[in-house]
Structure 1
Amino acid sequence: MTPTRIAVAGAGYIGQAHMHAAQHSATVTLTAVVDPSPVAKEVAAKAGVPCYASLAELFANDRPDGVVLATPNALHVAHALECMQAGVPCLLEKPIAPTVAEAQTLVDQVEATGAKVLIGHHRAHSPIMAKAKAVVQSGELGQLVAVMGSATFYKPDQYYADGPWRCEVGGGPILLNMIHEVHNLRMLCGDIVAVQAFASNAIRGFAVEDTVSINLRFANGVLGTFLLSDTAACARSWEQTSQENKAYTSYDDEDCYVITGTNGSLSVPTMRLKTYPRPEDRSWWKPFDVSTVEMVRTDPIAQQMEHFGAVVRGEATPLVTARDGLANLRVTEAIVEAAKTGSTIALV
């Protein structure tokens, strides 16, 4: 087949990850970089593709089949609308928009026009998550009861020195990191309908939070707890357990999610499964059957690129829709509000 032609807008860290995925794909090919910065020209030259200063210039000179939008958050909606107006499918990096109001505007346009827009929550393409979701949906755990999650890691001081904006409101782990977790939790347990949260900045003393304790209520009655911290020297985070991003050291003895039901539990991403052999004879006095769910580990960003190519070609519908992106952002904003006010924030 003729490879699907993909341009990447935004030549930063995540943009370069998308470029790498396109360059090493059997079904898509990288055709251009869009970014006005001098550094982008060097990145494009190294990749052997032209560099354009804007989407308008790209569309006028070398119209691709699809565009990956890895541009700054504030430009997400404008750039997505520009792609839609040009009739070019896009993969829009998360978050879908800076605010829920802006995200709603984009969702309305996507749904009104039927535009092909895939939101870049790449963990949705993780084989680990696919397998965990399959176990939950199989009923092997029984009726879902609760989920316990964590994203605890230590960001070095240089991280804040390099980006002083991260010390201010909006630069903390709720808005930067929690949105990944929200989508994973929604995949596993369904829609979130209410949140509570306590936040602390006791360690670094910045204007923004460094640690957050979160309670979640799901539409199906499942309850969840989540501990988030970027100042906790702990490996219970997706990056340090999934083995998907080789930049992080991984620990086989740690998990970041435990999903519990009336007949058993699944720990993710080790995929350790504990279930009662006889559901009619369940008791904390009785032993579990203990096993590990077989699975494969592959790069979810590469998987996402293959899926995007299929969306562009009309072979698939977006696994993560614009409405999903809106729902994830809505929960994240609710956590911010809950931590600020001390109130339970309802989402329905």
Structure 2
Amino acid sequence: MTTLRIAVAGAGLIGRRHIELIQASNACQLCALVDPAPAAAELAAATGVPLYTSLAQLFAAQQPDGVILATPNHLHVEGALACVEHGVPALIEKPVAHTLDEGKRLLAIAEQRGARLLVGHHRAHSAILEKARELIGEGLLGKLVAVMGSALFYKPDDYFDAAPWRRQAGGGPVLINMIHEIGNLRSLCGEIVAVQAQASSATRGFAVEDSVAISLRFASGALGTFLLSDTAACARSWEQTARENLDYPSYADEDCYVIAGTRGSLSIPSMRLKYYEQDQDRSWWKPFNTAVAPLDQADPLQRQLAHFCDVIQGRAEPLVTVRDGLRNLQIVEAISQAAHSGQLVLTESL
């Protein structure tokens, strides 16, 4: 089997993680690093690959089999379009674009050219979500009725000191963190068609929100609530419950999602089930059957890289397309609009 040659653009934290995974893979190898920052030279020397200051310089020198774009958000579309122009498949870190208009421009060109672009919503590759989708798809929960979700965590002061823009509009948890949750909820419960929200900055007193209460309506008619806060000393977040990123302490007694249907409910990521059998009378007076769905733990970033290799070789279609990435961005924008206006926002209106 041919070993794929992959270049990484961006030598920040996520770029370095992609490099580690490429180096550990049997399916691909690192062929170049793209980053204009002086500090990138040390990383390129350590990994033994050439360093280029731009994608244009990279493509003038060599034609990689794929490119991972781990650049700052405002460079995602520009980088993706450069890859499309040279016929090179790309993995674009989330968000797919820094504005809706730019995302729509990328979508139009990518679909017209039939480009192979995968958006880096890595949780879509989670074994936890895969198992949850399987259980929901089998009908074990019945018709979905409601979902309760949370992303409650405490960001320390130095998080904001290191990047003061996080204290300003656009630096709050809606735009930074909620896009992950939207991708998860859409994959589990279907399309989100309307949102309402209330935001508060009362705890930190910044110009941007620190806590948000969100109401969601799904195309199926199911309803959802979601609590988001970066100033809540609580463990009910994906990072602190999923045990997929071991940099975070985790708590097996906590869940961040509960999905309920007409026959049962599933708590995620503990995968605890409470359900009635198909022919069983359903009543709050009657006890549930209980179970814990088995899981095989896996690194979603590692699985995403393997999937990207399949996309490069034409063996798979992107699990998260540009259209999916843009849809996640649209819904996050709808939440921001709803929080500022106090009105119901229909997501198709964006």
Displacement of 1:344: 0.4
TM-score (norm 2): 0.98
Q: Relative to structure 2, which stretch is displaced further, 314-323 or 25-34?
A: 25-34
1:254 maps to 254
The one-letter code sitting in structure 1 at the alignment partner of 2:317 is T
Count, aligned residues: 348
Tell me the distance in 1 between the aligned counterparts of 2:302 and 2:247. Answer: 16
Q: Relative to structure 2, which stretch is displaced further, 46-55 or 75-84?
A: 46-55
Q: Is the 8 A contact 1:140 1:263 kept in 2?
A: yes
Displacement of 1:140: 0.4
2:313 maps to 313
Q: Is the 8 A contact 1:263 1:279 kept in 2?
A: no
Tell me the distance in 2 between the aligned counterparts of 1:66 and 1:9. Answer: 11
Tell me the distance in 1 between the aligned counterparts of 2:142 and 2:254. Answer: 24
1:81 maps to 81
Q: Relative to structure 2, which stretch is displaced further, 38-47 or 220-229?
A: 38-47
1:286 maps to 286
> Are positions 1:137 and 2:137 aligned together?
yes
1:159 maps to 159
> Are positions 1:36 and 2:10 aligned together?
no
Tell me the distance in 2 between the aligned counterparts of 1:19 and 1:222. Answer: 40
Tell me the distance in 1 between the aligned counterparts of 2:215 and 2:199. Answer: 12
Displacement of 1:62: 2.4
The one-letter code sitting in structure 2 at the alignment partner of 1:229 is S
Q: Is the 8 A contact 1:266 1:273 kept in 2?
A: yes
The one-letter code sitting in structure 2 at the alignment partner of 1:217 is R
Unmatched 5+ residue regions in structure 2? Answer: none
Task: Kindly report structure 1 stretches of 4+ aligned residues shifted beyond 4 Å.
Answer: none
Displacement of 1:26: 1.5
User: Sequence identity of aligned pairs in percent?
Assistant: 60
> Are positions 1:263 and 2:301 aligned together?
no
C-alpha deviations, 1:34-59, integer Å up to 9, x for none?
00101111112222222111101111
Displacement of 1:278: 5.0
2:108 maps to 108
Displacement of 1:289: 0.7
The one-letter code sitting in structure 2 at the alignment partner of 1:299 is D
Q: Relative to structure 2, which stretch is displaced further, 176-185 or 99-108?
A: 99-108
1:47 maps to 47
SS in 1 for 2:95: coil
1:4 maps to 4
The one-letter code sitting in structure 2 at the alignment partner of 1:140 is L
1:341 maps to 341
TM-score (norm 1): 0.99
SS in 2 for 1:36: coil
The one-letter code sitting in structure 1 at the alignment partner of 2:94 is K
2:240 maps to 240
Tell me the distance in 1 between the aligned counterparts of 2:86 and 2:180. Answer: 29
The one-letter code sitting in structure 1 at the alignment partner of 2:3 is P
The one-letter code sitting in structure 2 at the alignment partner of 1:170 is G
Q: How does 1:172-183 map to 2 (within 5 A)?
A: 172-183=172-183
Q: Relative to structure 2, which stretch is displaced further, 223-232 or 13-22?
A: 13-22
C-alpha deviations, 1:183-237, integer Å up to 9, x for none?
0000000010000000000110000000000000001101000000000000000
The one-letter code sitting in structure 1 at the alignment partner of 2:109 is Q
- In structure 2, the CA distance between the partners of 1:274 and 1:146, relative to structure 1 (3 Å rule), is same
Displacement of 1:279: 4.5
The one-letter code sitting in structure 1 at the alignment partner of 2:152 is T
Unmatched 5+ residue regions in structure 1? Answer: none
Tell me the distance in 2 between the aligned counterparts of 1:7 and 1:278. Answer: 51
Tell me the distance in 1 between the aligned counterparts of 2:329 and 2:347. Answer: 11
